[in-house]
Structure 1
Amino acid sequence: MRGRLTLLVAAVGVLVVIAFLVPLAVLVRTVAADRATTRATADVQRLVPLVGTADPETIRSTVDQIGADTGRDVSVFLADGTVLGTPASRTPTVVLAARGESLTVESAAGREVVVAVQGRPEGTGVIRTVVPRDELTAGVTRAWLVLALLGALLVLVGLVVADRLAGSLVRPISALSAVSHRLANAELDARVEPAGPAELREVAGALNHLAERIQVLLREEREQVADLSHRLRTPLTALRLEAESLRDPDDAARLTTAVDGLERAVTGVIRQARWRSTASAGGSCDAAAVVGERVTFWSVLAEDTARTLTIDLAPGPLPVRLSGDELAAAVDALLGNVFAHTPDGTPFQVRLAARADEVTLTVADAGPGLPPGSRRRGASGAGSTGLGLDIAERAARAGGGRLELSAGPDGGARVVLTLGVVAPR
């Protein structure tokens, strides 16, 4: 934008300079030619009384003297054919002037000035002089050079002023852009200092107001989620007491483990609800330990529903750029989808593989596959919330990876969660 404004001012400045300097340059040349012609005419007019009354010898000496003083060719044509001064032939202009008419005409040699003189006994005499081209344009080149330098100086000053003006416009716009990018990166405390024209100051104020409003809305949302999570603690406590009161130790242990997992999830929701920004949601964990723990938990339900579970987990530690709570939530979401969207008895497999710069978790089943639009947030074909894949995808992005959906080797669904590893220190 700054370059375009400068270019625009430069173009306008050049056009204005041309519009003024070109006519001025033509005027300078015309004035110089007219001044030279006026001087030549004045010199010729000094000879008129002499040519009208003096003898030829007196006229000759005076004409030679004037020619030597002015550096121009001066000739006097008498009616009897005598030519005094600089030898020259009778031109059509001289012939016309012999009829009594004084003229100034352009010729190949310059500008020809002829003056008719009445009163001589033999007839009308004619005084002729020629103003050469170099005298007609004397000083014009220097004047044009001065005008060109003046025009260049004006354009340069215009460019400097335009650059300063463009800078006063571009700097506030750049500040607005920088703050908007910071807000997009979850730096909600970023603010812009209003500057520049009134319109840009108004935009800056609107952006600051928007950032404050976003902070208020996020704070209200987090508090609402936190409040809802706190409300869940009471039924969780009651559920734990019920689990501990069961007589069968195996059932009590299994139900207590489920309550523990639910409580961890609720605790994670509370923590995430109180995070100031998504940028603070960093962390790391051992993917092998977290995935192993969650697969062990779900293997009990797989056994109860007659599902064959194939487990292939790479040995740890496998540090990934994701907190343990978020990774556990993603694993629970993927495995929960298997139980929610496939019939009992459907086999599935869980594989955790490690590479140089990433860790890959693959969950594949032999069920009916993914329905169309299942990746869309809130979409579900089994009466669930439809947020499982969305939770996994957000975890993948937070962990510097990606989530891929495809058909499994047995025709069912195959979900691959890739996470970036933590660089060794």
Structure 2
Amino acid sequence: MRRRLTLLVAATMCLALLAFVVPLALLLRTVAQDRAVATAGADAQSLVPLVGTADPDTLRTSVEHVAAGARAPLTVFLPDGTVLGTPAPRTDAVRLAARAGVSRTVERSDGREIVVAVLGRPDGTAVVRAFVPATELTHGVTRSWLVLAGLGIALLLLGLLVADRLSRALVVPISELSAVSHRLARADLTARARPDGPPELREVAGALNHLAGRIQELLREEREQVADLSHRLRAPLTSLRLETESLPAGDAARIAARVDAMERAVTGLISEARHRRETDVYVSCEATSAVRERVAFWTVLAEDTGRAVTLDVTADGPLPVGVAADELAAAVDALLGNVFAHTPDGTAFSVGLAPAAGGGAVLTVADEGPGLSSDLVGRGASLGGSTGLGLDIARRAAQSSGGRLALGTGPSGGARVTLELGPPQAPPVPD
């Protein structure tokens, strides 16, 4: 934008300078020509009284004196053929003036010829001739044009400098606003724009800062609501724990363990909702241990429902991914929960975890059930009477790390969900 504004000003100034300089240059040339012709004509007219009245000796002396001080060649042609002053041939204009008594200025290829007929002499008509060479007609014009061109270039450079300063005053605040908006898009809600530049840009910066503050307030309110909602789940969990005491010992221990796991998840959700900072988006975890832990949890339920579980982890070492451990666990729980919710008992499923080519990991959950439509990736979409949030939870976990979720069909015709998790990202350097 800065370069375009400068080019626009340069083009406008060039047109203005051309419209001003070209006519002025032509005017300077015309003025120089008129000045040279007028000077030569005045020298010729100064001899007219002497040619008409002076005696030959006085006339000769006066003509030679005037011709010596004239800028252009000055010649007097007497009726008897005598030539005084600067030697010159009798041209057609001189003969015409002597014959017809007409004074005139004649344009020639090598200059301008001024002839003045002097009447009243007893021996006939004398002619005073002044010749202005072409070099004299343009004397000083080249220098004036160079001065004019230099002045135009200086004005153009000055205009470009002013245009660059003005465009910088516009572009720099706009660039800062763009940088702040990108930081806000990356969830850095502490970013604020510095009101600078024209009043309109200062108003935009103020509006952007107000928007960022409002987003912070809305997120704070939303997290408080999530924390309150999660806190309300503790009462039913407490009641469920008390109910397990009336069950047989084996069932009570198993159900109490699951209630404890659910209570830990709720506690973690409350802690995350209350204490996680808006700018803390550069998180990571080790995917192998998180996936193994969640698969082990669901394996117990799989044994109760007659499902065969296969876990295939091909990583030789840790697999760091750019997603929090609780979010990854929630994504795995959502995918495995869908398997239990939408396939009949006895349906086998497998979980695979492998390193991705560019860093991160690829998590695959496949079952031998009836399959899954790609329309169910949308939030709230469900054909099985559920909330429809499971796949969306997994999708958002993948996208938060720079990955994606893909649905497909497994070798046996069942559903195959692939979760691509990006590698951890380094936090930005503070400004």
| TM-score for the superposition, normalised by structure 1 | 0.91
Task: State the Cα deviation string for residues 341-360 of structure 1 (Å, max 9, x = none).
Answer: 22333221122334673333
* Equivalent residue, structure 2, for 1:50: 50
SS at match of 1:194: coil
* Equivalent residue, structure 2, for 1:87: 88
* Equivalent residue, structure 2, for 1:32: 32
Give me the whole-angstrom Cα distance separating, in 2, the residues matched to 1:407 and 1:52.
Answer: 123
Q: Is the 8 A contact 1:320 1:419 kept in 2?
A: no
* Equivalent residue, structure 2, for 1:219: 220
Please show how residues 132-143 of structure 1 align to structure 2 within 5 Å. Answer: 132-143=133-144
SS at match of 1:47: helix
Structure 1 alignment gaps of length 5 or more: none
Task: State the Cα deviation string for residues 189-240 of structure 1 (Å, max 9, x = none).
Answer: 2211222212111111111111111111111111111110111111111112
Which shifted more, 267-276 or 106-115? 267-276
Which residue type is aligned with residue 202 of structure 1?
E
Give me the whole-angstrom Cα distance separating, in 2, the residues matched to 1:253 and 1:130.
Answer: 129
Q: Is the 8 A contact 1:378 1:385 kept in 2?
A: yes
Change (3 A) 1:313 1:49: closer
Which residue type is aligned with residue 141 of structure 2?
V
Task: State the Cα deviation string for residues 104-155 of structure 1 (Å, max 9, x = none).
Answer: 2321121111111110123222211110111111111111111111111111
Which residue type is aligned with residue 304 of structure 1?
D
- Deviation of 1:79 (Å): 4.0
Which residue type is aligned with residue 129 of structure 2?
R
Alignment RMSD (CA, Å)? 2.4
Task: State the Cα deviation string for residues 67-111 of structure 1 (Å, max 9, x = none).
Answer: 333353333334455544423133146515642332123211211
Which residue type is aligned with residue 223 of structure 2?
R
Change (3 A) 1:393 1:275: farther
Please show how residues 29-178 of structure 1 align to structure 2 within 5 Å. Answer: 29-55=29-55, 59-70=59-70, 72-79=72-79, 82-85=82-85, 86-92=87-93, 94-96=95-97, 98-178=99-179
Which shifted more, 292-301 or 154-163? 292-301
* Equivalent residue, structure 2, for 1:408: 410
Q: Is the 8 A contact 2:97 2:116 kept in 1?
A: no
* Equivalent residue, structure 1, for 2:394: 392
- Whether 1:298 aligns to 2:283 is no
- Deviation of 1:302 (Å): 2.2
SS at match of 1:195: coil
Which residue type is aligned with residue 337 of structure 1?
N
- Deviation of 1:396 (Å): 2.0
Give me the whole-angstrom Cα distance separating, in 2, the residues matched to 1:114 and 1:102.
Answer: 5
Q: Is the 8 A contact 2:97 2:117 kept in 1?
A: no
Which residue type is aligned with residue 11 of structure 1?
A
Which stretches of structure 1, 4 residues or more, deviate above 6 A after TM superposition? Answer: none
Which shifted more, 279-288 or 236-245? 279-288
Task: State the Cα deviation string for residues 299-344 of structure 1 (Å, max 9, x = none).
Answer: 2322333323223345786342333322211111110111222233
* Equivalent residue, structure 2, for 1:318: 318
* Equivalent residue, structure 2, for 1:351: 352
Give me the whole-angstrom Cα distance separating, in 1, the residues matched to 2:286 and 2:171.
Answer: 48
* Equivalent residue, structure 2, for 1:260: 260
Give me the whole-angstrom Cα distance separating, in 2, the residues matched to 1:317 and 1:265.
Answer: 27
Which shifted more, 143-152 or 13-22? 13-22
2:377 to 354, 360, 375: 375
Q: Is the 8 A contact 1:346 1:365 kept in 2?
A: yes
* Equivalent residue, structure 2, for 1:334: 335
Q: Is the 8 A contact 1:77 1:125 kept in 2?
A: yes
SS at match of 1:271: helix
Q: Is the 8 A contact 1:352 1:362 kept in 2?
A: yes
Change (3 A) 1:43 1:284: closer
Give me the whole-angstrom Cα distance separating, in 2, the residues matched to 1:3 and 1:282.
Answer: 36
Please show how residues 266-285 of structure 1 align to structure 2 within 5 Å. Answer: 266-277=266-277, 279-285=279-285
* Equivalent residue, structure 2, for 1:9: 9
Change (3 A) 1:421 1:27: closer
1:364 to 325, 345, 366: 366
Give me the whole-angstrom Cα distance separating, in 2, the residues matched to 1:178 and 1:152.
Answer: 37
Change (3 A) 1:407 1:143: same
* Equivalent residue, structure 1, for 2:429: none
Change (3 A) 1:232 1:261: same
Task: State the Cα deviation string for residues 38-70 of structure 1 (Å, max 9, x = none).
Answer: 211121112112221345565455434433333
Task: State the Cα deviation string for residues 250-295 of structure 1 (Å, max 9, x = none).
Answer: 2112212221232232223223323554542554444333222222
Which residue type is aligned with residue 155 of structure 1?
L
Q: Is the 8 A contact 1:318 1:421 kept in 2?
A: no
Q: Is the 8 A contact 1:286 1:316 kept in 2?
A: no
Fraction of identical pairs, as percent: 62
Which residue type is aligned with residue 407 of structure 2?
L
Q: Is the 8 A contact 1:56 1:84 kept in 2?
A: no
Give me the whole-angstrom Cα distance separating, in 2, the residues matched to 1:283 and 1:16.
Answer: 59
Change (3 A) 1:228 1:114: same
SS at match of 2:376: coil
Which residue type is aligned with residue 128 of structure 1?
R
Matched residue count: 422
Please show how residues 200-211 of structure 1 align to structure 2 within 5 Å. Answer: 200-211=201-212
Q: Is the 8 A contact 2:403 2:422 kept in 1?
A: yes
- Whether 1:229 aligns to 2:221 is no
Q: Is the 8 A contact 1:97 1:103 kept in 2?
A: no
Which residue type is aligned with residue 199 of structure 1?
E
